[in-house]
Amino acid sequence: MARKPAIAPLEYSRRWSLRSIFIAALVFLYAPIFVLIAFSFSESRRLINIQGFTFDWYGKALENSDLQLAFANSFTIAFLSTAISVVLGAMTALLLWRFRFPLKPVYEGVVVLPIVIPEICLGVALLAFFARIDWPQGLPWPLNLSQITVSHVAFSFPFVAMVVRARLANFNRELEEAAKDLGAGEWPAIRDVIVPHMKPGLIAGGLLAFTLSLDDFVITFFTSGPDTVTFPLKVYSMVRFSVTPEVNAASTILIVITVVLTALAMWLQGRSGKLPSMGH
Amino acid sequence: MESWRRNRLVFFLVGLPPTFWLVFFFLAPLTIIAAFSFGEKVGVIDIDITGTLDSYLRIFECVPVAGSEGCTQVYLTIFWKSLWEAGLTTFICILVGFPLALMIYFASPRWKPWLLLLIVLPFWTNLLIRTYALIVMLRGNGFINKGLEALWNGADWLTFGALGNFTPLEMMNTDFAVVFGMVYVFLPFTVLPLYAALERLDHSFIEASLDLGAGHLRAFWTVIVPLAMPGIASALIITFIPALGTFLQPDLLGGTDSSLIANVIERQFRSANDWPFGSALSLMLLYITFFVIALQAFFSRRRQQHGREV
C-alpha cells in the first residue's frame, strides 16, 4: 500500500485546520439551499419535517397561472434586456478600448457606476423617473414590460462592457491593421475581425446579463406595475403570503435554470481565457 | 489606442447609443431624486422643487419618545445601525473568507477551479431564494434549533438530565438573523477578491520567510497579509457597500425593529408616500457609498506610493 506523502511546508490545503474551515463554510453555504430543495419534494404542507416524496408541488407550481405569467414575463424581459445589453456593452467596450478622448477617466467611472451604487438607490430613482416623465402605462403585453426591461439594461450593459473589454485586451491590433492593409474598410474590419474576436466575451457577457435580469429583485420591485409581476416578485409575494412547498418547487426551478446558464457562461468564459472579472 | 478625432464617424456611432442610455436611464433618474430631495410634497403625487432642506433636516430630527422627556433621532439611529451591521458583516466575511481564499490558493492546480466554483456557485443562486432558504433554517422549529436540540439532549443524557429541557433559540425576526443572512449572502463576494489578490502572490515569498525561520503565523502576518492588502481592501468595499444598502435580509429575516436604511427608503416610496424624504435618504446612502469608495482609492494610492519608496 502506498503511504500518503508527508505534508510539505506549503501544503496548507492538506492541513486539517484549513480543511475543516473550508468544509464548515461549504455546509454553511449549501445546507440552506439543499434543505430548500428537499422540502420541494416533501408531502407535508408545512415546512417542518421532510415527509415522503412527491412531485405534486412542481405540478402545482407549473399549473399556477400567476406563476406561469410571471415566468413568461421574466424570460421575455431577460431576453430583451440581454439583446440590448450585449449591443450596448459591445459598443462601450469598443469605445473604451479603441479611442482616446477628453474626460475618458470620468466616462469610465460613470460606466461602472450602475454596478457600484446600491440597488435600492437605482430602484427608487428609476421609479421616480418613470413617474415624472409619464412613461406610458397600461400597454398591452409585452410593451408593458418596457419599464423593467429598460431598467435591467441600465445595470446589465456595464457588466457586459467589462467582460467584453477584458476579452479585447488581448486582441492583437496588427490583425485589424492587416485587414485594412488588405483593403478592408472600417466596417468590414470591425465586422469580420474584431467582432469574431469578441464573440466569447459577447456570449459570456450575454449570459451574465441574462442571469442578472432573471434574478433581479430590488430594481424590478420598484419598476414593476400590478400587471407586470416577474418570477422573483411572485416568489416574494408568495413568501410574504404563506410559506408552502410550492414556493420551494418554484425556487428550485429557478435555481436549476440559473445554475445551468451560469455554468455555460463560465465554461465559455474559461474557453476565452479569462475568468469573469467580478470585483474589479 | 487612437484619438477620437482620427475617426469621428466610428467614435460617435459606437459611443452615442451607450451614452444615450447612461444619460437617460441612469443619470437622469439620479438627477430626479436629487431634485426631489430638495422638494416638497404638494397633493398626493405632486412634488414642488422649492429648494428646501427640510427632507435633509428630517434625517437628523429628534422624535419625542412617548411618556418621557427625551427624544430619539430615529433616522440617524437607523443610519448608524446600518453602518454597524454592514461593518460587522464585512468583518465576519473577511475573517471567514480569508481562510477559504487561502485554502483555494494553496490547493493543487487540479483542485483549484473546483474549490473556487464551490464557493462561487451559491452566489449565482437567486438572492431572494437564498434569503428565503434561511427562514426554514432559523425558525424556532427550524433546522439549526433541531440540531442544537439534538446536541442538548445528548449532553443532557450524558449528564443524567442535569440540563433539563431544551428551549429553542429565538433567531428569526432579530438583528442576529439579519446579520446572519447578510454574511450568508455576501460571503462569496468577499472570497473572490481575496483569492484574486492571493493568486498574484508568489509561493516563493512564503517559502523564503519560512526558510529564514519565520513560523507559520509570522509568515502569515508579515508576508501574506501585507501582500494581500489590495485584495483585502477591495473585499472590504465589495462586501460593505451592498451590505449597507441591503433590503431583503431585514425585510424577510428581521423583526419590526430590524429595519435598515433600505427598508426606510422603500417605505417612503411605497406605503408612506413621502418621495422627497425618501430621495434625501437615498442621496445620503449614495454619499456614504461614494465616501467609502473615495476612502479606498485614497488608501490604495497611498499604498502604491509607499510601495514605490520602499
Cβ atoms of B74 and B212 closer than 8 Å: no
- The pTM assigned to this predicted structure is 0.89
Judge whether B65 lies within some domain.
no
Q: Most B CBs within 10 Å: which of A18, A95, A210, as the mutation test of the B interface?
A: A95
Residue B310: pLDDT over 70: no
Same domain (yes/no): B24, B143: no
Tell me which residue range forms the domain holding B12.
1-36
Read off the C-alpha cell for B38.
430638495
Domain ranges within chain A, ordered by starting residue: 16-54, 65-271
Tell me the Ramachandran region of residue A5: left when phi exceeds 0, alpha when psi lies from -120 to 50, beta otherwise: beta
Intra-chain end-to-end CA distance of chain B, in Å: 33
Same domain (yes/no): B29, B129: no
> pLDDT tens digits, residue range B175-204?
999 999 999 999 998 999 999 999 888 888
CATH, residue B185: 1.10.3720.10
| Residue of chain A whose alpha carbon sits nearest to that of B105 | A13
Chain A neighbors of B269, CB-CB under 8 A: 124, 127-128, 222
Chain B neighbors of A127, CB-CB under 8 A: 269
Question: For residue B274, with 0-12 CB atoms within 10 Å meaning exposed, 13-18 middle and 19 or more buried, which class applies?
Answer: middle
Same domain (yes/no): B32, B84: no
DSSP for chain B, please give it: -EEGGGGHHHHHHHHHHHHHHHIIIIIHHHHHHHHHTTEEEETTTEEEE----HHHHHHT--EEPTTSS-EE-HHHHHHHHHHHHHHHHHHHHHHHHHHHHHHHHHS-TTTHHHHHHHHHGGGGS-HHHHHHHHHHHHSTTSHHHHHHHHHHHHHHHHTTTSS-S------TTSHHHHHHHHHHHHHHHHHHHHHHHHHTS-HHHHHHHHHTT--HHHHIIIIIHHHTHHHHHHHHHHHHHHHHT--HHHHHTS-TT---HHHHHHHHHTTS--HHHHHHHHHHHHHHHHHHHHHHHHHHHHHHHHHHH-
Same domain (yes/no): B132, B251: yes
* Exposure string for A117-132, b = 16+ CB within 10 A, e = fewer: bbbbbbbbbbbbbbeb
Residue A276: pLDDT over 70: no
Cis peptide before B250 (omega within 30 of 0): no
Mean pLDDT of A187-208: 86
Farthest-apart Cα atoms in chain A, separation = 77
Residue B304: pLDDT over 60: yes
Q: How many domains does chain B have?
A: 2
Closest partner residue to A10 (CB to CB) among B106, B119, B134 is B106
Cβ atoms of B74 and B63 closer than 8 Å: yes
Same domain (yes/no): B31, B162: no
| Residue of chain B whose alpha carbon sits nearest to that of A16 | B103
Same domain (yes/no): B31, B81: no
Judge whether B185 lies within some domain.
yes
Same domain (yes/no): B146, B252: yes
Same domain (yes/no): B83, B132: yes
Same domain (yes/no): B166, B295: yes
Residue A274: pLDDT over 70: no
Closest partner residue to A254 (CB to CB) among B32, B102, B126 is B126
Residues in chain A: 280
Same domain (yes/no): B104, B228: yes
Q: Which residues pair with B40 in a beta bridge?
A: B48
Judge whether B55 lies within some domain.
no
Q: Do strands B71-72 and B63-64 pair parallel, antiparallel, or not at all (unpaired)? A: antiparallel
Same domain (yes/no): B137, B6: no
Q: What is the pLDDT of residue A53?
A: 86
Task: Tell me whether residues A48 and B141 touch, CB distance under 8 A.
Answer: yes
Distance (Å, rounded) from C-alpha A206 to C-alpha A84? 10
Chain A neighbors of B129, CB-CB under 8 A: 36, 235, 251, 254-255
Judge whether B107 lies within some domain.
yes
> pLDDT tens digits, residue range A34-76?
999 998 998 887 777 777 888 888 998 888 888 899 989 999 9
Judge whether B134 lies within some domain.
yes
Residue A271: pLDDT over 80: no
Distance (Å, rounded) from C-alpha B39 to C-alpha B176? 37
- Using the Cβ of B248 and the Cβ atoms of chain A, whether some distance falls under 8 Å is answered with yes
Architecture category of domain A65-271 in CATH: Orthogonal Bundle (1.10)
Same domain (yes/no): B297, B199: yes
Cβ atoms of B45 and A131 closer than 8 Å: yes
Task: Tell me whether residues B29 and A114 touch, CB distance under 8 A.
Answer: no
Q: What is the pLDDT of residue B307?
A: 64
Judge whether B101 lies within some domain.
yes
